Amino acid sequence: MSQQPMSLSRLLVEKSSYLRNPNERDRIFAKGKKIEVVYVIVSKGIPLFRTEGAGDVTTIDIIPRGVAREGSTAYVSVPAILPEKIQAKLRRRMLEVLRSRFNNEVREHVKKYKKLGFSRLGEDGSWNCFIMPPSGEGETDLGMCGFCPSCNILGAVITKSENNYAKTSYGIKSRVVHDIAFATVPYEKCVVELTHNKVSEGISYTGRSLYEEPHIMPGVVFIGKLAMYDVTEREAKLVLHSLATISRMGGGETKYGSVQVIIVGLRAGDRETVSSYDIARHVIEKTGGALVEPETVVKEIVNYIRGKGFDVVIDEQKGIDSLDTVVAISDEELAKLWGEDNYFYSENVVAHIARAEKKTVGGEEEEKKEKKSKGRGKEEVQ
Ligand SMILES: [Zn+2]
C-alpha cells in the first residue's frame, strides 16, 4: 500500500525545529541539527563515472548479507559515484541557480558584503563566484568569492584575496555532507563498452582516435544520501532545488551524461541514521543484484527508509518519468537568503576571523592599520 507522499516544502516547515533561525546568534557554530536526504540518480544516457580517467569505471565491492560461502564470490562489485563528484556538481548547479536568479534586489544586498571586508564583488553589487582551480601549489581557488550562499553552504577558503580581514587562510566547512552513491547492479551487468571513433576528412584513417570507453547503461539507479547540517529553511530549499535539478553528470556529460535526480525521502533529527551503503545493500539483497526496472529499485528504497522513520516525498507506484521532486524557491526567498540568512552567516564568519586575527602576533597592529585604510575609503575592488 502506498501512502500519500508529503511535499518537500511542507515537510521543511514541519521539521522547522531542525532548521536554524536565519538571525540566530553564533550561527556558524554547529548545533547538530541534521536533515538526511535520500535520493537517486537514474542514468538516462550512457554516463561515464570514472576516477582514473579514460577506460575506467569507479567500482566498489559490497558484500550482501548471507551470501558469503566458502569458495564462492561473496561480493558484488558495483559502479559508484564518489562524494566529491556529487558535491562539485551540486556546487556548479547551485551557482547556476544563483546567477540565473540574480536581480537588482540581490545586487543591493551584495553591496553590503563590502562592509564585511569581502573583495570579490563590484562597487555596483556585481558578483560572480566560479570554480577555477589554483594555478600553483599552495594557492587557493581563483574564482570562489567566499561569501555567497554557495560558498557559505558548500564550503570555501577565505584568504586575504577574498577578505581584507584575513591574514591567513580560513576554511568554511561544508554544511552539506555526502555518502557515496552506489549502483545496485554488478559492473558486468550495467556497463557497456562502446567504441568511439573520430574520422578525418579527405583521407580516411582512424589511428589513435579509435578508442573504447566503458559507459553505464540507461536505467541504472545510483542510491545517494546527503545530510544538511544546521541550515535555515531557505538554505535547505536552495540545496534541494539544486540537487533535484541536476540533469547531467559525469565525464563527457554534454554528450553522455543525461541523468534524473529524484529525492525519495527526508528525515530530520540530531544524528545521521542511515547510509547509502545500508540502502544499496538492502536493495541488492532483495533483487539479487539483477538489472531490474528503476521503479523496482525505488520501491525497495522507499520500503527501507520508511521503516527507518523517513518521510517519503514521492508516490513510489508511479513511473520514474512522472516523478518530479523539484522544490520551488521563489525570487523573494532567494533575495532574503542573500540579504538575511547568508549575510548574517558571513557577518559571523568575519567576526570569527577578526577574533582569530587578534590572537596572532601582530594581529592588533594589523587591525589598526586596517581601520586607518578603511577610514580613507581605500578598498580593493575586483
Ligand atoms: Zn561564492
- Centroid of ligand 1 to alpha carbon of 114 (angstroms): 14
Closest CA to 95 of 257, 334, 309: 334
Longest dimension (CA), the chain: 78
- Centroid of ligand 1 to alpha carbon of 265 (angstroms): 28
**Is the pLDDT score of 203 beyond 80?**
no
**Is the pLDDT score of 8 beyond 60?**
yes
54 to each of 50, 51, 85, 208, 307, how far by Cα in Å?
8, 9, 16, 14, 40
First to last CA, the chain: 58
- Centroid of ligand 1 to alpha carbon of 233 (angstroms): 19
Residue with cell 582516435: 209
Beta strands in 270-369 (DSSP E): 311-312
| Per-residue confidence band for 235, with pLDDT thresholds at 50, 70 and 90 | very high
**Distance in angstroms (rounded) separating the CA atoms of residues 201 and 211:** 18
- Centroid of ligand 1 to alpha carbon of 121 (angstroms): 10
- When pLDDT is averaged across residues 127-137 and rounded to a whole number, the result is 85
**Distance in angstroms (rounded) separating the CA atoms of residues 125 and 291:** 51
- When pLDDT is averaged across residues 126-142 and rounded to a whole number, the result is 81
- Centroid of ligand 1 to alpha carbon of 100 (angstroms): 14
Residue 235 burial by CB count (10 A; 0-12/13-18/19+): exposed, middle or buried? buried
- Centroid of ligand 1 to alpha carbon of 85 (angstroms): 18
What confidence tens digit (pLDDT) does each residue in 305-317 have? 999 999 999 999 9
- pLDDT for 132 equals 85
- Centroid of ligand 1 to alpha carbon of 157 (angstroms): 10
- Centroid of ligand 1 to alpha carbon of 365 (angstroms): 29
- When pLDDT is averaged across residues 288-312 and rounded to a whole number, the result is 97
- Centroid of ligand 1 to alpha carbon of 364 (angstroms): 28
**Distance in angstroms (rounded) separating the CA atoms of residues 356 and 172:** 14
43 phi, psi to nearest 5 deg: -70, 130
**Distance in angstroms (rounded) separating the CA atoms of residues 95 and 82:** 20
What confidence tens digit (pLDDT) does each residue in 237-276 have? 999 999 999 999 998 888 889 999 999 999 999 999 999 9
- Centroid of ligand 1 to alpha carbon of 104 (angstroms): 18
- Centroid of ligand 1 to alpha carbon of 292 (angstroms): 41
**Torsion sign across C-alpha atoms 239, 243, 245, 248:** positive
- Centroid of ligand 1 to alpha carbon of 150 (angstroms): 5
> Chain-centre distance of CA 127, in angstroms?
21
- Centroid of ligand 1 to alpha carbon of 91 (angstroms): 10
- Centroid of ligand 1 to alpha carbon of 29 (angstroms): 20
- Centroid of ligand 1 to alpha carbon of 293 (angstroms): 39
- Centroid of ligand 1 to alpha carbon of 154 (angstroms): 9
Q: Which residues have C-beta within 8 Å of that of residue 197, sequence separation ≥ 6?
A: 206, 209, 210
What confidence tens digit (pLDDT) does each residue in 56-71 have? 889 999 988 876 655 5
Q: Do the beta carbons of residue 261 and residue 86 sit within 8 Å?
A: no
- When pLDDT is averaged across residues 317-334 and rounded to a whole number, the result is 95
Residue with cell 570507453: 213
Q: Do the beta carbons of residue 194 and residue 215 sit within 8 Å?
A: yes
C-beta neighbour count of 303 within 10 angstroms:
14
β-strand partners of 38? 225, 265
- Centroid of ligand 1 to alpha carbon of 130 (angstroms): 7
- Centroid of ligand 1 to alpha carbon of 373 (angstroms): 25
- When pLDDT is averaged across residues 141-168 and rounded to a whole number, the result is 93
| 250: alpha, beta or left? (left if phi > 0; alpha if psi -120 to 50) | left
**Is the pLDDT score of 329 beyond 70?**
yes
- Centroid of ligand 1 to alpha carbon of 6 (angstroms): 32
- When pLDDT is averaged across residues 157-161 and rounded to a whole number, the result is 93
C-beta neighbour count of 320 within 10 angstroms:
19
379 to each of 142, 159, 356, 371, how far by Cα in Å?
19, 16, 22, 11
C-alpha cell at 289: 543484484
